[in-house]
Structure formats: structure tokens, C-alpha cells
Structure 1
Amino acid sequence: MGQMSLQSLTPKTYDDTVVAAAEWLAAALANAIARDATSPLGHDLYADHPELDSARPTSEIDLMSEVSHRMERIRRAARTVQIAAQESRPSDEIATEAALLAEICVEVQGEVVELLRAKEAAAKARLSHLQAAALRTALTPREAEIAGLIAVDQLTNSEIARHLHISLKTVKTHVGNILSKLGITQRSEIGYVLDPDGEERS
């Protein structure tokens, strides 16, 4: 099913109440996942909340690692075909290994596409969450949009201007207003202020 843990660098951080709450949450999640798996409605907890699925990549490094792992499967299968050919094995054996390689390539292609979709879904969910938080902090809808583009997509002012089809001067004005309203001085702090319990994701 999966694992859940509480971790802290500070000794004796969690008391019995926190542990009991964590156990309750773990049981609730387990029940929800089990229910989703058998639901005739086909409801999927991870589809509604992709950020809960730890198996999905949440950063460029995670994504690269997952893709690299799958490409290694292809490399190993290709090496097997190469060795079979070098050793002059029977043609039907080489054909079998080649067919397996082709099958792995198709599988990996599908898996990589799914990884990219999952990462995009997680990024959209993160962006939506941050923009909602931004609106609650008295930012205007446009400021909330720009705050999300900075915190999630890590766009520069020039990139934001091109993306929103507005002038660079207008973007700078909006960014200045955002920093002022949030009481910060660095763009990199926007995500942490709007979602202090979240993680910066690209």
C-alpha cells in the first residue's frame, strides 16, 4: 500500500497526540485508497490530489531520474540483442530478443508520457493552490497570477511579460506590489509566504 512517516531533526518533537493523529490519518488514507480501488465510480484520490502521490515526480531532478531509470531498461535490452548477434546465436533467438526490446521501448514511451502528464498535473495543482492563497492575501487576480508564475514556474520578468502579453514595465510594477503586500524583498520568498507548508516545485 505504501509508507508514511513523521520526521524531525529535533529530538522529542512528537508527543503521543501527534503520533495518534498520524496513525488516524494513515488509516483514513488507506481506507480512501482501498475504497477508490473498488469504487464503481472509478474515483481516484490521486487524480483529484496528484500532490499526494509520492510516486509521481515533483521536480525536474525527480523527472530526470525516473526517465533515466526507464532508459536504462532499454539500454540493457539493446545490449542483450547486441550480444546475441555478436555470438551468432540462432536467428529465432535474436528475433525474440529484438521483439522484447521493441516491447520495452513501447512500454517506456508510455511511461515517460505518463510521467510528463503527472508532473504537469502536479504543477497545475500547485499553481492553482498558490493563486488561491495569493487572492486570500489581498493580491489582485493579476498579481496572484504573476505570483504563481514566479513561485511555481520560476519565470523571469521578461518571460512573464511574453507569457501574459504585457510590457516588462507592467510586470515589474506588479512584482513590486506583490513583494510589498507580502512584506518580503525577494522573489524566491513568494512561494514560501503563500504556502509555508509546501515545497517549491518547478
Structure 2
Amino acid sequence: MGTVLPETVRGALRLADRQLRLLAPDDVNEMCAVVRRAATAIAPVETFYVGLYQGDNTLVLPYIFSAGEHLSADTSRFGRGGMSHWIRANAKPYRYAYDDGRRCHAGAPMGDGVLSRDVVAVPMFGPDEATVIGMVNTQSPRPDVFDDTFVIALEWLAQALALSLDDGARSSTRERLYRDFPELDRNRLDFPIDMLHTATDCLDEVARSVDTLRSRAALLEVAELRQELGRIKDQCRLVGTELAMMALKTPPSHDREYPETLTTREREIADLIARESMTNAMIGRRLYISEKTVKAHVSNILRKLGIRQRSELVWFLGEKATDHHHRHGADTSNSPTAPRISRGTRPQPS
């Protein structure tokens, strides 16, 4: 797709992917809840439902959530003028702006009946990637809250949900989730900083489990409490195992190269930051460009590498940076005012 997702969006999608992988094949309710929580973390979703097509004109709704409440599962019949028919016929996302919500409002209202002012509904595809088997629908009473990034993220979540619902495809075809966004595959992390983000997500899950147990502990029998503690213990072991396997699959630092999206000038500036600990002003003097231009290049570098601050460039280069320091030191004497930086010194965030 060529789209660079913001870190907050990537984090929400990675967490959803991990949670879907861990769920039992028959836990449909929690699968849908995982997708809803991820979508809500990206944009203010008020109404959310998952619909699965049955026959020519029936939509089975196993999961409906609106205005902070879970609603009972339901079925709905649809005609040719509605959104459900349009999505299956066109096999692409529906957005409120396409027709000012006409197709959405033509169907049966969901939740509290308040008319939605923004809607995104995306198709779910079967294993052949062509047959539309259902949809994920998100709505808000506020206008213009779902942007292009949200649509892309919801399409990805719908695909992840479809694969999870099809138990036979959970492993064999899950790789297709990562064709357009390989950075979302936890089994192929390219940067140590990605492992840090993943570890934080895992520990947050454990912390939530502990908080939930604390709130319920007084109501549990001793045997139930032991069972819950055992489950959290197993969860901790699983986190340790998962992180160990990710460490095994993460490429060694000396094998990592800059992506092709970085220009020659951006690679040059990245090297000066990571290997010589140069500030923007020092880089400007070295390359005979303005500090403002350097700052713009640095912003592009961080965005393209998916990192948040310049100090992380050291961890991107890893052994390349330290090997350079070992062979050459960090002597920046070619720069008129650049101080000599001792080996191992890390650049400070800009």
C-alpha cells in the first residue's frame, strides 16, 4: 500500500494481532471485542458491529456494541439499496461521505437509534481473498472522525478477524496480513526498539490481568483465586517465551541496512547522528546546509524508520555504530567546532 502508519496505530494493530492469535478458535465474542478495542484506540467509535452474510439477504450479527453497552446478537434482512448489499456487491469499504450516509440510514438503526454522522464499514474476505463473507461496521454521532488512516487500519483488522474466525486459516494464510505492512508482524521485528514496544504491550496485558483480579479477589473462593493466579503465571511464562522467540528471529544488528526509502542525503545524516553523535548545527556545518534543512531531513529519517527520536538511530545501526567508533573513534575534527566524542557516548534526543 505504501502507507506509513503512525506508531500509535501500529501499536494498536500489533496488540490486536497478538490477542487474536492467543484466543481459542471458538471465542468469537472476544475476537470481535479485540477488534473493537483496537478500532476505538484509533478513533472515537460509538457503535461497532460485526456482520456475517448468510444466503442472499441475511446478515447475522454475532457482536454488537453501542454507547458503551454490549447488545444481544441479532439477524437482519437487507435489500438492494442498503449498505450491506453495497459492501458485498462492491467488495470495498463504505464511507459516510460517499452518499452523505444514505445507504447507512436506509437500514435498521443500531444501538440507541441516534443517527450516525460518520460511518466506515469494511468487507471481510474469505480464504480466497475475493468472496465477501461479512463486514466490520464502525459509526459515530460526530462528523468527520474517521480519516483515511482509520479506514486502512479497519480493513487490516477485518482481515485479521476473518482469518481468526476461519480456524483452518489461522496459521497457513496469516502471512497475507503482513504483505502490505510487514512491520506489524511480531515474528519479524527489524529493530530492537520494536522489541521494547512489544515487551511493553505484553507487560501491560499482564498488568491488566492483575488489576482485574484485584478488583474481584474479595468475591472469589480460594480455589478460584488459585486458578486465576495460575492463569496469570502462565501468561507471564507465555510472555517470556514469546519475547525469547522474537529475539531469536530479530536480525542481528550488523545485518540491518537502511531501507531504500531513505535518500542518499538522509543516509549520510543518519550516519553522522548515529556514528559521530553530531547535533543538527554540526551536521549543517559539515555538509554546508542550513540547520533548518538538517532538521527537516532528521524528521523524514525518523518517520521512514518508524522511530521516535534521534537517539534510537544508535540502536538501529547497532554493531555498525560501535564498530565504526572502535576503528575510527568518533573524531569529528573535520567539523570546525565539533568536539571529540568518546566511544559509547549516545546522542541526545533532538
- Structure scoring higher RCO (CA < 8 A, sep ≥ 6) equals 1
Bigger proportion of residues as helix: 1
TM-score (norm 1): 0.39
Bigger proportion of residues as strand: 2
TM-score (norm 2): 0.24
